[in-house]
Structure 1
Amino acid sequence: MNHGDALFAATQSHGQFYLATLNALLEKFAALVRSPEPPHALHTLLMRELPVVFEQLEDSASRAGSLEFTTLMVWLSQTFQARSIPVAVLHLTLQAMQQHLLDTPDLPWRTAGLSVLEDALQALSQPQEARDVTKNLPMLDLLLQTEPVSDAVLETPYLDLAVDQIQPALYRVGELWQQGKISVATEHLATLRAQNILLRGYRRAAFFPFAGRKVLVACVPGNHHTLGAQILGDAFEMQGWSCTVLMPGLPAEDLMFQIDQCKPDVVALSAGLIQQLGSTRKILQSIRLHWTSSVPVLAVGGHATQMVPHAGGALGADLWGLNARQLLQEVS
């Protein structure tokens, strides 16, 4: 979905609430938007982030829990700061949403929404400490450079290479992008280099014979960071599991169809961003409703589980935030 489609979808689903917030923001920034081109801060918010903020607010308010929404706001604040986008835009957005809720007493989740917004505004008012991304990670240097990969790296057992070296390095790459220290192109090149290293390690790996158990691994809708899911699939396959790894971008209903066809013992979902946790929750609920008597073990991993480490129970997952090695140990 492009920015225009996201804006239209948010307007359709949130109606007057969304439009009231837009109008309030435009009034605050009236002097700026008279220019031929919208200022970068406002344009970024209106066209990309604001629809996400609305969706996450309603999802959090409907469950009367603010952890995911607050974490998303802090993450956006840090991302804005790194790109010299005024964080005041974010504050004004939440305040405009807050005012609309105060003026709309018949909204079912009004009270919970006000509580969620208050928690987020309080979190944004606290000093934000940027995570130290200077810690020495040899694999990080390797992913960001073009030097040949040594035999010592490639001879590392696959799971140790993937979990202990590649995964932490890629999380750090994402943090470097968030802090504006590397470009999207550099992030993509690092991911491609990691894929190449893992492929060469995969070719050297030993595989156990088929053990009669099945796992289905998928990225939730919107998550196109597929490397973690591939690592998990490889790890299960090496341990003798029959493994199905679905391509990203699969609609939720098609994912349900594949689960029905595969009948796996474990379903492992990967959520890369906080805003994907809402769809993750719905998928988990659908699985439990559909397979009431034979529900597979439901596991959720990905970077979102690192950002919100205690949300697994609220999402309905059996296992939460485990790396490939830990998940294998739990289900074996």
Structure 2
Amino acid sequence: MKDIQTHDRQRLAEKLRFLEPDVIEVITTNFCQQHPETKEPGEVDTTHCITDARYHLTFLRTAIEFGTEETFRQYLRWTTKVLQTRNIPHHVLQRFLEEIFHALEPHLTDSEKLVVRTHFLDVPESGLTERQTPARSESPLALHQEVFLQALLAGDRHAARTIALEALSSTHSLSDVYVEVFQESLYKIGSLWESNRISVAQEHVATAITQYVMANLYTCVTPSQPSKGKGIITGVEGELHQIGSHMVADMLEMQGWDIRFLGVNIPHQAILQLIKEFQPTLVGISATMVLKVPIVRDLIKDIRNHFPSAATPRILVGGSAFRALPDVYRDIGADAFAYDLRTLTTLLS
């Protein structure tokens, strides 16, 4: 896919964006209404099916724009896992993808059809099942992590705080606790939600408790005196997940950076204004979903256009969107990609 010219990929992605409303209308008639199993329990219309179609098209468009077939495959494996919790078999998703292609087909050139079908929509059933990941060596904080996870599931923030404080006092650094306890627990919470074993409300409770515990731990550690420069950590417009970027901001402060943490869903103009006033040497931008990568690209372009090269801060990106697209940071104008907190520390050392 990378051998296809960038402008051809971008043109095709823009065409899919334009066609999306018409394609969804066709799919609603030809697929959603004929497959009642795609409805949520108690749902009387095709709202959920239409939402699924919009997600499929958006992830397809983004993967085409950046030339990353594997990203779309990962999305399909995740979707298959979620559908299984709704007792919807593999072949329904495959039929769904076929309907998307048939709806797009009249509007595509022969070369565009080849790209869409060959690189993205011709997915064997084996390609929809989750891949096994290599076993990791057990962390010294593995027991703390398991107990912390149970506290999150129980909704017990006081127990979670006690466990985290004990981990911090056991000669472990704040970075260790953030990565090995908080991050790993939240990954498992996400997996439980995907498999329909916990509700959205329980997932939100777990996130809120973790943020509460982070705030408590922050007061227990003395930051280094600011000596390494100024930095801004932010999410982009539409980004709703801030816990990862919050950890980054905390860690950088502990290591001697003067940090301004903006949170998430920040208008680009507000970010540009703060860069002008604060004059940072570093800007870190977080994105959770691949769909937000084009927005990150636009923000980076705005930063470079508004500030001359001598005043342009170093721009780093991170978050699960970029873990799925580890090489895309170069294409969107970033200086580096931090896979996790430890990678970030290495990049800035």
Is TM (by shorter chain) over 0.5?
A: yes
- What is residue 336 of structure 2 aligned with on the other side? 319
* Worse-superposed segment, 243-252 or 76-85: 76-85
- What is residue 319 of structure 2 aligned with on the other side? 302
- What is residue 143 of structure 1 aligned with on the other side? 152
- What is residue 274 of structure 1 aligned with on the other side? 290
Cα distance in 2 between the residues matched to 1:67 and 1:41: 33
- CA shift in 2, pair 1:111/1:324, >3 Å: same
Matched-pair contact (CA < 8 Å) for 1:171–1:303: no
Whether 1:227 and 2:270 are equivalent positions in the alignment is: no
Q: Which residue identity is paired with 1:152?
A: E
- What is residue 185 of structure 2 aligned with on the other side? 169
Unaligned runs of 5+ in 2: 1-15
Identity %: 22
The alpha carbon displacement at 1:212 in A equals 5.3
Secondary structure of 1:267's partner?
A: strand
The alpha carbon displacement at 1:124 in A equals 5.2
Matched-pair contact (CA < 8 Å) for 1:301–1:323: yes
Query: Deviation string for 1:290-316 (max 9, x for gaps)?
Result: 445143222222223334445443444
Whether 1:194 and 2:207 are equivalent positions in the alignment is: no
The alpha carbon displacement at 1:127 in A equals 5.1
- What is residue 98 of structure 2 aligned with on the other side? 95
Matched-pair contact (CA < 8 Å) for 2:233–2:259: yes
Cα distance in 2 between the residues matched to 1:160 and 1:128: 32
Whether 1:58 and 2:54 are equivalent positions in the alignment is: no
The alpha carbon displacement at 1:232 in A equals 0.8
Query: Deviation string for 1:106-143 (max 9, x for gaps)?
Result: 5995554344433xx4165535137699x964232232
Cα distance in 2 between the residues matched to 1:210 and 1:253: 27
Query: Deviation string for 1:309-328 (max 9, x for gaps)?
Result: 45443444332243233313
Listed as ranges, the matches of 1:12-91 within 5 Å are 14-31=17-34, 42-46=46-50, 48-91=51-94
- CA shift in 2, pair 1:173/1:257, >3 Å: same
Cα distance in 2 between the residues matched to 1:154 and 1:194: 14
- What is residue 5 of structure 1 aligned with on the other side? none
- What is residue 225 of structure 2 aligned with on the other side? 209
Whether 1:153 and 2:177 are equivalent positions in the alignment is: no
Secondary structure of 2:196's partner?
A: coil
The alpha carbon displacement at 1:189 in A equals 1.5
How many residues align? The count is: 315
Cα distance in 2 between the residues matched to 1:84 and 1:222: 31
Matched-pair contact (CA < 8 Å) for 2:32–2:49: no
Cα distance in 2 between the residues matched to 1:256 and 1:115: 41
2:257 aligns with one of 225, 230, 241: 241
- What is residue 279 of structure 2 aligned with on the other side? 263
Matched-pair contact (CA < 8 Å) for 2:33–2:46: no
- CA shift in 2, pair 1:251/1:301, >3 Å: same
Q: Which residue identity is paired with 2:48?
A: T
Q: Which residue identity is paired with 1:44?
A: H
The alpha carbon displacement at 1:265 in A equals 1.4
Unaligned runs of 5+ in 1: 1-12
Q: Which residue identity is paired with 1:286?
A: D
- Tell me the TM-score normalised to structure 1 length: 0.80
Query: Deviation string for 1:231-262 (max 9, x for gaps)?
Result: 11111112221111113221233333333333
The alpha carbon displacement at 1:82 in A equals 2.1
Q: Which residue identity is paired with 2:221?
A: A
Matched-pair contact (CA < 8 Å) for 1:154–1:200: no
Matched-pair contact (CA < 8 Å) for 2:77–2:130: no
Cα distance in 2 between the residues matched to 1:17 and 1:283: 24
Query: What CA RMSD, in Å, does the superposition of the two structures yield over aligned residues?
Result: 3.3
